[in-house]
A and B are shown apart, each in its own frame.
Chain A
């Protein structure tokens, strides 16, 4: 969130950071991610040491410690996947909409996933995290596409407009969710555990089931990188360079929606990772989308895992869910960004 007024990128080559600087940044990003993964398996209600983790990996630790450390594998894997999905989705959305506020949480995807899960639990008898996860996907996809359709209808594209379209859809869906959950205690119970957004309490099955969606989304993102770069030059320039702006835009939105739907389905709604990471990355490595996507894929997991570790440590022995932690880190960052906005944005 270092840059706040997101001037339209002035072309891929224009503000390219030096190659050496990118290599350093890449090394640093990888190191931070590795440290975050380590922290995620080390810390918890019972902290283990670095040498414990090494012993577990070598298979020579005592069984208790092994159990503790291994119990943290699924949430670490989920954290990596969800953080990666959210950050890349945020980068894509901000690139496609040229809107620095584009974030899956603000665009109705969370409300869509929630409404779908609530409906499935209440009327179709779905239960358990794997079961409900399958229902989150279509809801998130439909809501995401609907908001984009409303927000981009007509001429021009306002910054406030997409966000408002998301707010409208979210409000209507929230009314439905509240009506159902408040009249059915069982549904209320499972909903309140899902909606807070947490990495814990889920097994590898959840990870494996969303993995295909994430992979498809990521491959699309990688393919779209050069297209997004030309899109940043403006539609007419992009067209004259041989790109198809409409196709790139549609692909970007579809990919972003797939990625954020996968993340939301797996771990619940998590705010601000998709919003903040692209801003930080852009400030560090410049506007080339191929580089941005790569760095987002490294920084997103690192941020989410560190937030999760913070959540495990601050209220020990209780846990603060990662969704709460990211809101408390992300919202103040957003407020500071608003303060530093220039003009009417």
Chain B
């Protein structure tokens, strides 16, 4: 179940991008190429988000609109309706992908992602309690944030070994998730129907009606945390070889792990704060990144890009698929992520890893 399977070939030599003595970012040519491709895909998805559908800005006008010449309905769509939503989707997806990459690198386990071990459920419970007890005084997002952090603390404490043992992690996650779900279900039961429906939509993770404030929040979190993860990137890379080797090479695996987990929780909590608990992005993004490049290492940048791409595509589905109207984006990520998780497990079982 460890992430650095023997099957990953080294396809191109590893290089380090060094800035002074403190920063050394490991990278390979294949990673750089992948990053470029992902970025291009992200641009395509963004253009599609802005231009598809009834209110979409036609491709011909798009460049002008984005560079500042938007007028009338185009201005409304770009500045109120879809613009902020798109920017929030990118930031949230990137934050979730990066958070998942950090978690999975530390736990060396694809299932050691915050959304598998109860973070989403805790956030949901926090949001539900806030909505029930302090409906007008405390923002729901703050409740979700506190709930997410509390759930992670509970998991950490109850495993007794931190986040290292995968079996314990999954079981403790199930326990914490059960409490969170029970709380949320009770609140949804106790509220009147319309407010309960709004709460349910939030608890699934939604990007509808996001403002530029939300966009600022999540990108601020990213801008602060991303450089810090760059600082520990090399030590994480070494850490994936195992604690003993990492220790012998002179790094402090425990400290690195603690820092990485704290950063990952900050990222996840930020994402929960602006968009609610969106399922499965932090689980799938790092795994996809790993499978595209087929090299070892924590893949921080690639995971962030993949996460952003996944969430923008999921949100595009949420906005444009005619099957259901206005579903929260979290339902799409849950469906896609569930299928992906099943495929992932089937693969690992065939190889007898799990």
Contacts and interface: CB of A to CB of B under 8 A. Distances in A.
A84 to B, nearest CB: 22
Contact of A335 (B172, B279, B328, B335): B172
B341 A171 contact: yes
Interface string B311-345: 00000000000001101100110110111011001
B171 A183 contact: no
B346 to A, nearest CB: 8
B186 A339 contact: no
A153 B204 CA distance: 31
Contact of A175 (B176, B200, B331): B331
B170 A272 contact: no
B327 A183 contact: yes
Contact of A328 (B116, B176, B182): B182
Nearest to B332: A175
A321 B197 contact: no
A321 B166 CA distance: 33
Contacts of B179: 327-328, 331-332
Interface residues of B, number: 53
A115 to B, nearest CB: 12
B244 to A, nearest CB: 17
Interface in A114-157: 150, 153-156
Interface stretch (B60-68, B92-100, B188-196, B222-230): B188-196
B160 interface: yes
Interface in A236-286: 271-272
Interface core residue of A101, A106, A324 (most chain B CB under 10 Å): A324
A106 B173 CA distance: 12
Contacts of A169: 338, 342
Contact of A182 (B189, B197, B346): B197
A230 B170 CA distance: 31
A234 interface: no
B186 A320 contact: yes
Given A171-B341, A178-B334, A334 B350 contact: no
A253 B186 CA distance: 31
Interface in A316-345: 318, 320-321, 323-324, 327-328, 330-332, 334-336, 338-341, 344-345
Interface string B162-180: 0001111011101110110
B345 A193 contact: no
Contacts of A106: 174
Q: Chain B: interface secondary structure?
A: helix
Interface string A48-85: 00000000000000000000000000000000000000
B51 to A, nearest CB: 26
Interface stretch (A13-21, A32-40, A184-192): A184-192
Nearest to B334: A175
B172 A182 contact: no
A210 interface: no
A164 B324 contact: no
A174 B178 contact: no
Contacts of B197: 182, 185, 188
A334 B182 contact: no
A39 B346 CA distance: 48
Contacts of B176: 331, 335
Contacts of B178: 105, 271-272, 327, 330-331, 334
Contacts of A192: 185, 188-189, 196, 200
A195 interface: yes
Contacts of A318: 190
7 contacts: A160-B354, A163-B171, A174-B334, A179-B327, A182-B331, A321-B189, A341-B168
Interface of B: 111, 116, 154, 158-160, 165-168, 170-172, 174-176, 178-179, 181-183, 185-186, 188-190, 193, 196-197, 200-201, 204, 279-280, 324-325, 327-328, 331-332, 334-335, 337-339, 341-342, 345-346, 349-350, 352, 354
